[in-house]
Amino acid sequence: MSTVSVVIPAYNAARFVHGAIESVLAQTAQDFEIIVVDDGSKDHTSSAVEPYLADSRVRYFSQQNRGLPGARNAGAKISHGEYLAFLDADDFLAPNALESMEKRFKETGAAWLNVGVLKLEGERRTVRHPRIPDGDLLLAILEDDFITRSPFYPRKEFFAIGMYDEAIRMREDWDINIRMIAASRPFALLDEPLYLYTRTEGSITTSNLHKLFFYTEKLLRKHHKSLADAGNKEVSRLYASNMWLLSRRNFYEARNFRETFRCLRESMRYDLSLYRLLHPLIHRIEVILSKT
């Protein structure tokens, strides 16, 4: 039984999955298995993985397309490790990532981690540091996903929380983070850039805003709206605020005016705000005044 199972979901990842695999093979802690889950790729992902199968620690599993959460869950279900690490096929782990994360778990007894991220955008390098906001953590996570990256779980904790929600194919990390905090599962900070995130043109977060907004609203209705409808006034305000932000993004980024007004109307239902209602006019006046 390996100490860590590294699950790498791969969809049309033939060009870059080798980088993710190599970053695991180069770890300072070598007691791991790698599970590449080919999520219905239409390219040569299988051929790109094949040379690594000579290493008995590397396994390949193919399935019909189920989306990122479904691929992660599939890999977890066939894994054997005491810990589970999730690495996207176009990302990398720092060489000491597995060793440092396992050590932090043993030091703290935490159920999950919030680690630092090194964001790679062409030649640009940006480090994002993990943090813990003040006040009520559930309200904080409902307001915004403040978790920088949580790629590593003790096996029993991941399955106990219900794995990833496969109905939420985007914003799946925010969803599981909300559930971990709502369940009062303790987490620890590890302020090292252990996860290397690559933002590529045409990635799932930049190529399809309509899907992103759809699944964001699905998450808001699952968590925020249900608590708001149960009478939680603070969450009603947060739900309204997030729906308003979704309305703005539909207007400015997707240019989808029907969704803009639908999301705005939903926001007004839960927290009537004249500022939000008149924001387009106020914004226009501010732009004019800035030019004078």
Q: Give me 280's structure tokens.
A: 């387009």
HSE, side-chain direction, 13 A CA sphere, residue 29 = 19
| Residues 107 and 222 reside in one and the same domain | no
- Is the confidence at residue 216, as pLDDT, over 80? yes
What pLDDT was estimated at residue 208?
A: 84
What pLDDT was estimated at residue 204?
A: 45
**Which pTM was predicted?**
0.90
Stretch 61-69: mean pLDDT: 96
What pLDDT was estimated at residue 205?
A: 47
| Residues 150 and 248 reside in one and the same domain | no
Q: Structurally, how many domains does the chain consist of?
A: 2
| Residues 9 and 64 reside in one and the same domain | yes
| Residues 194 and 233 reside in one and the same domain | no
Distance of alpha carbon 292 from alpha carbon 281, whole angstroms: 17
Distance of alpha carbon 136 from alpha carbon 132, whole angstroms: 10
pLDDT in tens, 112-150: 999 999 999 888 999 999 999 999 999 999 999 999 999
pLDDT in tens, 5-50: 999 999 999 999 999 999 999 999 999 999 999 999 999 999 999 9
| Residues 191 and 227 reside in one and the same domain | no
What pLDDT was estimated at residue 59?
A: 97
User: Among 30-34, 81-85, 254-258, whose mean pLDDT is lowest?
Assistant: 254-258
What pLDDT was estimated at residue 272?
A: 81
- Is the confidence at residue 274, as pLDDT, over 70? no
Distance of CA 123 to the CA centre of its chain: 23
Boundary (domain end) residue, out of 183, 201, 219: 201
Boundary (domain end) residue, out of 181, 201, 221: 201
Amino acid identity for residue 29 in this structure = A
Distance of alpha carbon 18 from alpha carbon 200, whole angstroms: 16
Boundary (domain end) residue, out of 167, 201, 235: 201
| Residues 151 and 8 reside in one and the same domain | yes
Distance of alpha carbon 73 from alpha carbon 116, whole angstroms: 23
Domain CATH number, residue 189: 3.90.550.10
- Choose between 16 and 283: higher pLDDT: 16
pLDDT in tens, 162-187: 999 999 999 999 999 999 999 999 99
| Residues 68 and 173 reside in one and the same domain | yes
- Is the confidence at residue 280, as pLDDT, over 70? no
Backbone angles phi, psi at 154, to 5 degrees: -60, 140
pLDDT in tens, 99-112: 999 999 999 999 99
pLDDT in tens, 189-215: 999 999 999 876 545 444 588 899 999
- Choose between 275 and 151: higher pLDDT: 151
| Residues 128 and 166 reside in one and the same domain | yes
Stretch 217-231: mean pLDDT: 97
| Residues 170 and 284 reside in one and the same domain | no
Q: List C-alpha distances in Å: 241 to 4, 218, 268, 270, 271.
A: 39, 15, 9, 9, 8
- Is the confidence at residue 284, as pLDDT, over 90? no
Q: List C-alpha distances in Å: 153 to 26, 78, 95, 110, 231.
A: 21, 15, 18, 9, 33
What is the average pLDDT score of the chain? 92
Query: For residue 150, what are the contacts with CB-CB under 8 A and spacing of at least 6?
Result: 112, 113, 114, 115, 173, 176, 177, 180, 187
**Using an 8 Å Cβ cutoff, are 128 and 192 in contact?**
no
Q: List C-alpha distances in Å: 192 to 96, 113, 210, 231.
A: 10, 12, 34, 40
| Residues 171 and 241 reside in one and the same domain | no
Domain that holds residue 224: 208-290
| Residues 103 and 220 reside in one and the same domain | no
Taking phi over 0 as left and psi of -120 to 50 as alpha, with beta for the rest, 196 belongs to beta
User: Among 12-16, 80-84, 154-158, 196-200, whose mean pLDDT is lowest?
Assistant: 196-200
| Residues 186 and 53 reside in one and the same domain | yes
